[in-house]
Amino acid sequence: METPVCAETFPIDGCVKSTSKKSKTSRSVESDIESLYKAVPQLAKTFRIIEKIGEGTFSSVYLGEARMRDGSRDMFALKHLIPISHPTRIAAELQCLTVVGGRENVMGVEYCFRKEDHVVIVMPYMEHQAIVDVIRLLSFEEVRLYIYHLLKALRHIHQFGVIHRDIKPNNFLYNRKAKTFALVDFGLAQGTADTQIELLKVVRQKPSQPRAGSSTERRDKAPPKPSSSATASHQSTANAPFPPSSSPTITTPATRKVLIKKSRSIAITAGASTSRTKHTKDLLGIRKSQRPVFSERNLNSCTSAASTTKQTNRTESVRPGDLSNRRLPSARGGPASVRTHKLQRTAQQTFTCSCFQTDRVCNVCLARKQQVAPRAGTPGFRAPEVLTKCPNQGTAIDVWSAGVILLSLLSGRYPFFKASDDMIALAQIMTIRGSRETRRAAKAFGKAVLCSRELPRVDLRELCETLRGRRPSPDDEVPPVTDGKDTGKGSTGKTPAPLPKGQDPTPGEKPWSGLCDERGWDKVPDEAYDLLDRLLDLNPNSRITAALALQHPLFKGL
Ligand code: ADP
Ligand code: MG
Ligand code: ZN
């Protein structure tokens, strides 16, 4: 790789954009930048580091300016990986970018610096907007384009046998004005059996051992980093139909409880707050838009409670997305319990297990070895086969995540699912896709999912239009039902708080009053929901591929 910049030294002083009033944060960014210059002194010869543009548990990304050979100046994104990242993992990320990137909406790489254990990946800088900032402004056409380009990126990486494993809007840069897109962050990527990325053969399908407190499994040797994630995760919840279990909970009588009991084979996430750092920091952008779509009282959802002290045998009482307050057409009723079992029973189980298909975990099962399967990624975007720890995972897991993004974009809610725990995430999925359907799909990939209550599959158009405010909420007429009877249709919640001014397509009007919408949300074609249905196919074996999805009638004319 040839260095794109001349070896001229830039003055380092004033490396941070001068601001009149420097906040604590900007001072800490300054000191981070100084530390980076010290750790990798070669950088100073080439770049003037301007600001920090991204931060997670595993990397910090900076904006750097370089003077090119022809005298022009160019902007670059400098990704500084945390020094304790595994060398093979770093090399694999770099190889994905070099071999696969630079085309088809996949970010490329320009250069890489290393000094001792510090590695800085230099990429072209792409200006972009956080999806949470633009989601309510997007037209249907923009959404169509977005998902088309995301699928294009996926088709491309999947052709190389690369499974990204962390598909979410923060990793798919979007410049709304320029209509440009770029998939970033191969830090979790894995290879398929026939991957063309040599280093992914080394890190291929390395199952992650379930760890206490891990909701976003990441690179090897990642340290739990104390952070201010509590605030971030709370605020980032505001827009989510399904806030995380750890979010502040305000219960209502209408709140449906789902009793989840975990067998040892399910990862335990006690004390998930520290390890959610990565995810919540990824969502830092959300803090900018402190704009709850729903009022406070609607923020109740998924709460973990009653966890026993024994880490391997917790019973959680959770409320998956309190649909009653979200005007979602959904089932109602009493407690339901969700569990997964490996379908194939071991000899040991056959003889002595007494808990199969019950909502307890027997001692025999507690003593069993844990099932290991890759489960990296962000819980709200994890496919059912990841959540249930299916050992055979393929490129279909990225397609599922793309489906979750489309669901977000069509409903205007981001994040859509937000769970701190795999079983909560699965319960949330079942609430939308149906419990019977989930059980059936899980059976196809060798898992038994147990849910004590039937949750009907919801109509995707109805769901999205209701969340978007384009459809009257059933509860405008219907009072909340709390008797646990499952009507299968309609919901029981309160009317959400009005959308902020300027965000509502028809401010001051009932949004469903039939007025046409210049952003096209009044005429979303059936094809959009058909594609959504295929992306969110619970069964990875029948889930549409990115390549086939691009041929979907929704994309006619693109
Ligand atoms: P991490 O592994 O820590 O999540 P990412 O590669 O996802 O790191 O980058 C974190 C953030 O930095 C991204 O969400 C994006 O906002 C920003 N970023 C990364 N690469 C670029 C780039 N090439 N141009 C502009 N911004 C970028
Ligand atoms: Mg990322
Ligand atoms: Zn058992």
242 pLDDT band, cuts 50/70/90, is: low
359 pLDDT band, cuts 50/70/90, is: confident
166 is catalytic: yes
d(CA 156, CA 342): 33
Three-state DSSP string of 360-412:
CCCHHHHHCCCCCECCCCCHHHCCHHHHCCCCCCCCHHHHHHHHHHHHHHHHC
d(CA 275, CA 286): 19
Of the ranges 18-27, 112-121, 252-261, 435-444, which one carries the lowest mean pLDDT score?
A: 252-261
Does the pLDDT value for residue 458 go beyond 60?
yes
User: What is the mean predicted confidence (pLDDT) over 184-194?
Assistant: 96
What value does the mean pLDDT of the chain take?
73
Does the pLDDT value for residue 353 go beyond 70?
yes
d(CA 268, CA 245): 13
Ligand 1, atom 15: nearest CA belongs to which residue? 54
Contacts of 41 (CB under 8 A, 6+ apart): 115
Does the pLDDT value for residue 234 go beyond 90?
no
Ligand 1, atom 17: nearest CA belongs to which residue? 54
Strand-pair category, 315-318 with 258-261: antiparallel
Does the pLDDT value for residue 502 go beyond 90?
no
d(CA 473, CA 151): 32
List the catalytic residue out of 32, 166, 422, 475.
Answer: 166
| Of 25 and 54, the one with more pLDDT | 54
Residues 365-405 have pLDDT tens digits of: 888 887 888 877 888 999 999 999 999 999 999 999 999 99
Does the pLDDT value for residue 351 go beyond 80?
no
Ligand 1, atom 10: nearest CA belongs to which residue? 54
Residues 504-518 have pLDDT tens digits of: 444 444 555 455 788
- Helix boundaries (H) for 383-525: 384-387, 396-411, 422-433, 435-444, 460-468
The binding-site residues of ligand 1, defined as CB within 6 angstroms of any ligand atom, are: 53-54, 56, 58-59, 61, 77, 79, 107, 123-126, 170-171, 173, 184-185, 187, 282
What is the Å distance from ligand 2's center to 405 Cα?
15
Q: Give the number of the atom of ligand 1 that is nearest the alpha carbon of residue 56.
A: 3
Q: Which of 89, 112, 184 is the best mutation target for the ligand 1 pocket, counting ligand atoms within 8 Å of the beta carbon and taking the most?
A: 184
Of the ranges 1-5, 45-49, 363-367, which one carries the lowest mean pLDDT score?
A: 1-5
Contacts of 552 (CB under 8 A, 6+ apart): 527, 530, 531, 534, 544
Q: Give the number of the atom of ligand 1 that is nearest the alpha carbon of residue 61.
A: 12
Tokens of 301: 């959802």
Asked whether the beta carbons of 129 and 180 are under 8 A apart, the reply is no
Does the pLDDT value for residue 166 go beyond 90?
yes
Q: Give the number of the atom of ligand 1 that is nearest the alpha carbon of residue 187.
A: 2
Per DSSP, the residues of 253-269 read TT---EEEE--TTSPP-
Q: Which of 32, 53, 82 is the best mutation target for the ligand 1 pocket, counting ligand atoms within 8 Å of the beta carbon and taking the most?
A: 53
Report the DSSP beta bridge partners of residue 175.
180
Does the pLDDT value for residue 310 go beyond 70?
no
What is the Å distance from ligand 1's center to 378 Cα?
15
* Ligand number nearest to the C-alpha of 358: 3
Residue type at 541?
A: N
User: What is the mean predicted confidence (pLDDT) over 346-359?
Assistant: 66
Instruction: Report which of 109, 115, 103, 99 is spatially closest to residue 79, judged by C-alpha positions.
Output: 109
Does the pLDDT value for residue 263 go beyond 90?
no
Q: What percent of the chain lies above the pLDDT cut of 70? A: 61
Tally the residues of the chain: 558
User: What is the mean predicted confidence (pLDDT) over 479-503?
Assistant: 36
pTM: 0.74
Question: Max Cα separation, the chain?
Answer: 76
Residues 277-294 have pLDDT tens digits of: 333 333 223 333 323 222
- pLDDT on residue 345: 52
d(CA 217, CA 376): 4
